[in-house]
Structure 1
Amino acid sequence: MTDCVALASPGQETDWLSDPVHRAYLRQDAARQFSFFDASCRPAGGFWTLDHEGQPLRDEPQELHTTTRLVHSYALGKQAGLVSSDAIIDQGMAYLWSHHRDAAHGGYVWALHGKDDIADARKLAYGHVFVLLAGASALEAGHPDAQRLIDDVRAIIDRHFWEEDAGLLCDEFNRDWTPFSSYRGMNANMHGVEALLAAFEATGDEQFLTRAGRILDFFVGKMAPAHDWRLPEHYTADWKVDPGYAGNPMFRPAGTTPGHSFELGRLLLQYWDLAGRPDGDMTLSARRLIERALSDSWDEVRGGFAYTLTFDGSVDNPNRYWWPVTEAIGAVATLLKLDPQPVDYAWYARLWRFADAHLIDHARGGWYPELAADDSLAMTQFKGKPDIYHSVQAALFPLVPGVSRMSSGLATLAD
């Protein structure tokens, strides 16, 4: 048991967010993560995926979300004063422009093998919104090529992915922008909100904020209350719920994904703050989303969250991954900053105790992505430590005083 979990007994009301011992723990964990993922740089350009020990998994393709998330995460680390070199940011920004970016057809291809071979040429909204997120975070961190990237990917999103009538993002195309499928999904739109809010914070352009609000209105204003505050993931081309859909087991699993409720609840509070904290029920809706996911999916025996649920809230896939825990930490920390309730203090402590005991690699840095039923490490869905994005944000979100403008908030901590 480390110092972070010695502050209070379970259930005791203690403000960990302001406790200097816990805050030092958060910075230490974030610094360890950056130290571990420094080994991601591939000498020929781009990044390696790393195994548990930090060695390259040389046969793994480089996917667009990995490239962009490293740029985003290291830009946050630079703002926080936890990253001393721009090497990851520079290499990622260069690789996005020279390799992921499709000079022939426009847009950004999903996956590459090595320096030049395209492993998956699809154009996915999910990947393109992460390009926007990387550009926004790099702009906040002062990167000279950030605005060029934002302008390029914004034009692609406008032309191909944004559906103005629906106020939502469609999902996928072939490399040449011919139709790939009629699938519509929440995941790309949720991360679209994340990227749009970051782009608004970095540029001040109101269109980004307006579009984020339209996406949130559909999923939180309409879908969540109609489904007992559980979020349907999958939709038909006309944005009707597709309850029988089962696609990629990681990115598009069947049923509902409570980890996404944590993310969308936090993003709703970020939007509400950036929009001037308007009157209404946004804060209550965010709490309902977050609390429903906490109560539905927490494993009372083993700890951690079941990955997916059926539409009535029963467990579908009981596998326990790291990222729902990290997203729950960010969501609960945001609730604690706005309107702390005794249950929030208890959840925040419970989540960090579980992460500290089972997920965090205290020796090498980074978080293990998956646990077996006996709490040993599992590798059924993931190879190695797939990225820094979720886990480092769990350490950084609680450190900033506000619920929005994380990048600039981290910069004040580094002063």
Structure 2
Amino acid sequence: MSDQGLSGTPPDDAWLDAECRRLLDFGRRVAHPLGGAAWLDDEGAPDLSRPVHTWITSRMVHVHGLGALLGVEGCTPIATAALDGLRTTLRDAEHGGWFGAIGSDGEPEGTAKSCYDHAFVMLAASTATVAGLPGADDLLAEATQVFERRFWDEDLGRVFDEWDRTWSEAAPYRGLNSTMHSLEAMLAVGDATGDTSWHRRAGRLAGLVVDLAPAYDGRLPEHFGPDWSVDLELNRDRPDDPFKPYGATVGHGLEWSRLLLHVEAALAAEAPPGLLETSRLLFDRAVADGWHADGAPGFVYTTDWSGTPVVRQRMHWVAAEGIAAAAALHRRTGEEAYARRYAEWWAYAAEHLLDRERGSWHHELDPANRPHASVWPGKPDLYHAVQATLLPRLPLAPGLARALALSQGRSAPA
């Protein structure tokens, strides 16, 4: 696949399709002997020294389910095998819900039940249901029931972040990362089932960000106490934490920018006010703070609350979300500035992130754009990159799975 033309013009649909298929091919060996999806190394081989993670398994169900909807050969059995891991290995048969990870001995590594993991189970089950994978309907019914009962706070319109294994005590922490992926999953559940109450719940979560973004000049606080009071100092001593970093996470600003537009499109006349304006604010702040912030191209990972870079590594997922956000804002507004950013960031990805020798994308680069592995060793995640090849080709609503199904002539849910 040639990258000709990516220096100044956006890739065409044929290039995006070829890149999507190249990424999916990298993930063909993902099945873990214990069930679920393995962590993949730099060459796409399963790293069996690592646990089986629920979030990775769910993301692999999602991307290979999308591949199945695209008609990519081999994706259906891969997605089905990973789905079976969610139905068996990773599921807590005694207390319900899903463990975060299972070790090589088949025992859970930690017993906390996280909203982040359960949101991805809902996303996986939604995509699998649309793709018609065996067992997907039952998994989706169970996942939504657990989420509604344990993680959704109807009174506040927000989510609990974590429970103990027996669902006896909720952790005091509340987080915007789990909120973001809950919103994404809610949109997918609504698309898969036809139950628009899930879309309305997503709208309530979006309202939190509409309120937060202007209050912090477009830099979103990520961490909160049990009463949703903002904690701006969490993990100052561990600023490169892969899930709860200190400061403002540039990639999440971009991801929220896009997701707000999906909520607006899904809810139409019922959408809360301010979604487009907040999407623009988040995008502009992420670009101003994060892109080319230290003399080299690429997005820094995090900044402090004045916009100064803290962790300067370049994560592949941040560039992927920048690409997707620029595409979404261009689709929503028609403004050429977003198309220019879209082309610029694909050119950056093609030059620095796409690994033509071993496959997939380098997951982490140092500040000089050389492959690095302090936060993300290996290449465990196809989710962001695959979506970056699909989102520019599809409408803002419905979501990816339903939009692909409709493009292939499959009917919408009754």
What residue number does 2:106 align with? 116
What residue number does 2:46 align with? 56
CA drift of 1:3 comes to: 4.6
TM alignment of 1:189-268, pairs within 5 A: 189-220=179-210, 222-246=211-235, 249-268=241-260
TM alignment of 1:44-123, pairs within 5 A: 44-114=34-104, 116-123=106-113
TM-score (norm 2): 0.92
Moved over 6 A (4+): none
Supply the RMSD in Å over aligned alpha carbons: 1.9
> Residues 7 and 150 from structure 1, CA distance in 2 versus in 1: closer, same or farther, beyond 3 angstroms?
closer
> Residues 277 and 358 from structure 1, CA distance in 2 versus in 1: closer, same or farther, beyond 3 angstroms?
farther
Q: Is the partner of 2:109 in helix, strand or coil?
A: strand
CA displacement 1:81-114 (0-9 Å, x = unmatched): 2344411211111111111111111110001113
Kept in 1: contact 2:298–2:369 (CA 8 A): no
In structure 2, distance between residues paired with 1:172 and 1:297: 30
- After the TM superposition, which of the residue ranges 204-213 and 192-201 deviates more from structure 2? 204-213
Kept in 1: contact 2:65–2:75 (CA 8 A): no
TM-score (norm 1): 0.92
In structure 2, distance between residues paired with 1:242 and 1:231: 11
CA displacement 1:28-58 (0-9 Å, x = unmatched): 1111111110011124422221111122212
CA drift of 1:363 comes to: 3.2
What residue number does 1:337 align with? 331
In structure 2, distance between residues paired with 1:277 and 1:302: 43
Does structure 1 residue 347 correspond to structure 2 residue 363?
Answer: no
> Residues 403 and 294 from structure 1, CA distance in 2 versus in 1: closer, same or farther, beyond 3 angstroms?
farther
CA drift of 1:404 comes to: 3.4
In structure 2, distance between residues paired with 1:86 and 1:154: 23
Structure 2 gap ranges (5+): 410-414
Kept in 1: contact 2:312–2:366 (CA 8 A): no
Structure 1 gap ranges (5+): none
Q: Is the partner of 2:108 in helix, strand or coil?
A: strand
Q: Is the partner of 2:268 in helix, strand or coil?
A: coil
Does structure 1 residue 302 correspond to structure 2 residue 302?
Answer: no
In structure 2, distance between residues paired with 1:277 and 1:5: 42
Equivalent position to 1:271, from 263, 266, 288: 263
Amino acid in the other structure paired with 1:169: V
CA displacement 1:332-353 (0-9 Å, x = unmatched): 1111112122321221111001
Amino acid in the other structure paired with 1:198: A
What residue number does 2:358 align with? 364
Q: Alignment length, in residue pairs?
A: 404
CA drift of 1:305 comes to: 0.8
The percentage of aligned residue pairs carrying the same residue is 35
Amino acid in the other structure paired with 1:265: S
In structure 2, distance between residues paired with 1:4 and 1:288: 31
